[in-house]
Amino acid sequence: MSGHSNSTHDATGQVPAGATGTGTGAGTGAGPPGHLVVFDTTLRDGEQSPGVSLDAAEKLEIAEQLARAGVDYVEAGFPVASQGDFEAVQAIARSVGNASDAPAICGLSRTQLSDVDRCWDAVHDARRARIHVFISTSPQHMEHMLKMTPAQVLAETRAGVARAREHTADVEFSPQDATRTSFDFMLEVLAAAVEAGATTLNIPDTVGYGIPWDFGALIQHIRSEVAGEYVLSTHCHNDLGMATANTLAGVQAGARQVEVCVNGLGERAGNAALEEVVMAIRIRPDQFPGVATTVRTEELARASRLVSRLTGYPVQFNKAVVGRNAFAHESGIHQHGVLADRSTYEIIDAASVGQVGRQIVLGKHSGRHAFSDTLEKMGIKTQGEGLNRAFTRFKELADRKVEISEADIEAIVIEELGQDLVDDFQLEALEVSGGTVGMPHARVVVSRAGDKVEATSDGDGMIAAASAAIRKATAVESQLIGFNVSSVTGGVDALGDVVVQLEADGLKVSGRGVSTDVVEASARAYLAAVNRLLRIRARNQERRIDTGF
């Protein structure tokens, strides 16, 4: 950070005792001592992610989920940016912002007086409303964007914050591109903002330039040097992959507000992720003594899925806290550990963030313990030499396939136990129709022991119709709990690979189907799952007869 290098951190990276300044968090919105204000900017900075454009209804839906999650502030948008953004912010202020336990609603504004007034018009209907005023302070921004001198930026800061304070006692100020701003000039601008009425000082690492120990030292110096009662805040971007780390360094140095986005959305590489910051504070109280949020963490996974669906931004599989693999284990040693006790390899209780823990993924790194546990959950019990032979075959197959399906496992076990795998039902014919006119319809013919059964059904789509027709033809009742389709190969003649998961009488089974026609692949997968369900039922019945139960 140009213009700033001296640090008062000790050798351990902890803030030394007695290093508190005047900006300790007594301003508007600070809450009780030790309360960390969670300021969510998914709807403002998050929406600035390339390719993301949310309409008013989608913004409202996300805001409602953020309220359920218990964030303290929702930055609903930039009202002056467009009429649509103004209306969305206004709708959120009037709806979400008026519930009994509503978060405060915030709008972003430049220092221009007309912008500030427009922002207030958008948020003032909320029970608690904030105006967030910003102006750039780095040499690069002042010279190339604003075409302003430092003196002009100072004057704009005073005027914009003072105008916001005429509307509300809750005013936030941000010196944009703070981490590339001369430290002395930043202190001058921040002091001017506090004198004009700002109650929160936000320090934006706008271009992701910060390094954790340096950013933490910056926060600590600001607390020591800027007089007044205010909450010090962080706003970190992820250009160097350190947005969450920088945010936590800021909290450790005394910041008591964090600006975050669900799933780490935001400009370029994104912002500090809400779920990562909140869970780090919760899991490591030894590093943040006395600091806590009021976020309802069990709502984090739901918020992640909602934002992903509405923005079209998928969550990477290995994303911390909310990713698909966050609680999945393939290594044999890891699998053995979590099967014995979750805490061996999971520092977060999955249920506490709305996830499912101890997910065992079978692959070439899996061990015998996980393999045996999976067999048992499939309703297959084998031990001794039979288990040894099946496990050996499993490891051979795992070297050739990335993921091993239940169908693969069952085929291995049955073959090693000397049993023949014969499907009860075979798909003889499938005929479907659909389109924009009329209800999608399906006709299927299935055979069993030479006898053919025909059935027809309608559905919401051709796949649903085909599945319903198969259910009629087989007379096997079950509930569809999982459906996944992927491409086996590339090009226009790609094979569709469909995996269907059914549940009946407490049993969960899956089936796979492959075809160049995704509807046919789905029908084959559904029928394969039905057959597997029947085989497990039959096998369990035989065991009951053999054991006398």
User: Rounded to an integer, what distance in angstroms lies between the CA atom of residue 272 and that of residue 210?
Assistant: 12
- φ/ψ of 462, rounded to 5, equals -65, -35
Q: Is 305 in the same domain as 334? A: no
Domain count, the chain: 3
In this structure, what CATH number is given to the domain that contains residue 459?
Answer: 3.30.160.270
DSSP for 413-431, please give it: HHHHTT-----S-EEEEEE
User: Considering the domain boundaries, does residue 15 fall inside one?
Assistant: no
Q: Is 264 in the same domain as 379? A: no
User: Considering the domain boundaries, does residue 3 fall inside one?
Assistant: no
User: Rounded to an integer, what distance in angstroms lies between the CA atom of residue 368 and that of residue 382?
Assistant: 12
Q: Is 476 in the same domain as 433? A: yes
Q: Is 402 in the same domain as 483? A: no
Whether this model's pTM surpasses 0.85: no
Helix (H) / strand (E) element for 184: namely: helix 183-196
What is the amino acid identity at position 270? G
DSSP 8-state assignment for residue 292: B
pLDDT higher than 60, residue 414: no
What Rg do the C-alpha atoms of the chain give, in angstroms?
A: 29
Q: What is the pLDDT of residue 513?
A: 75
DSSP 8-state assignment for residue 19: -
pLDDT higher than 70, residue 18: no
Alpha helices in 197-331 (DSSP H): 212-225, 243-252, 274-283, 300-311
Q: Is 388 in the same domain as 442? A: no
- Owning domain of residue 396: 328-416
CB 409 within 8 Å of CB 360? no
| Cα distances (angstroms) measured from residue 301 to each of 41, 354, 465, 478 | 17, 5, 31, 27
What's the whole-number mean pLDDT along residues 338-342?
53
| Longest Cα separation, the chain | 91
- φ/ψ of 512, rounded to 5, equals -125, 140
Q: pLDDT of 90-108, one tens digit each? A: 999 999 999 888 999 999 9
Q: What is the pLDDT of residue 416?
A: 53
> Higher confidence at residue 340 or residue 519?
519
Lowest mean pLDDT among 204-213, 339-348, 384-393, 513-522: 339-348
User: Considering the domain boundaries, does residue 338 fall inside one?
Assistant: yes
What's the whole-number mean pLDDT along residues 482-511?
72
The model's confidence at residue 17, banded by pLDDT at 50, 70 and 90, is: very low
Four-CA torsion 107, 113, 117, 120, nearest 10 degrees: 30
Q: Is 266 in the same domain as 386? A: no
Q: Is 379 in the same domain as 345? A: yes
pLDDT higher than 60, residue 2: no
First and final C-alpha spacing in the chain: 74
SS (H, E, C) 297-318: HHHHHHHHHHHHHHHCCCCCCC
> Higher confidence at residue 393 or residue 281?
281
User: Rounded to an integer, what distance in angstroms lies between the CA atom of residue 480 and that of residue 503?
Assistant: 7
pLDDT higher than 80, residue 345: no
Q: Is 281 in the same domain as 340? A: no
Q: Is 305 in the same domain as 361? A: no
User: Considering the domain boundaries, does residue 323 fall inside one?
Assistant: no
User: Considering the domain boundaries, does residue 20 fall inside one?
Assistant: no
Q: How far is CA 340 from the centre of its chain?
A: 28
Q: pLDDT of 123-146, one tens digit each? A: 999 999 999 999 999 999 988 988
- φ/ψ of 493, rounded to 5, equals -100, 25
User: Considering the domain boundaries, does residue 319 fall inside one?
Assistant: no
| Cα distances (angstroms) measured from residue 535 to each of 39, 99, 391, 425, 523 | 53, 53, 21, 11, 19
What's the whole-number mean pLDDT along residues 326-332?
52
The model's confidence at residue 435, banded by pLDDT at 50, 70 and 90, is: confident
User: Rounded to an integer, what distance in angstroms lies between the CA atom of residue 248 and that of residue 179?
Assistant: 16
pLDDT higher than 80, residue 283: yes
> Higher confidence at residue 419 or residue 250?
250
User: Considering the domain boundaries, does residue 317 fall inside one?
Assistant: no
What's the whole-number mean pLDDT along residues 462-473?
95
| Residue after which a domain boundary falls, among 311, 337, 362 | 311
pLDDT higher than 50, residue 62: yes
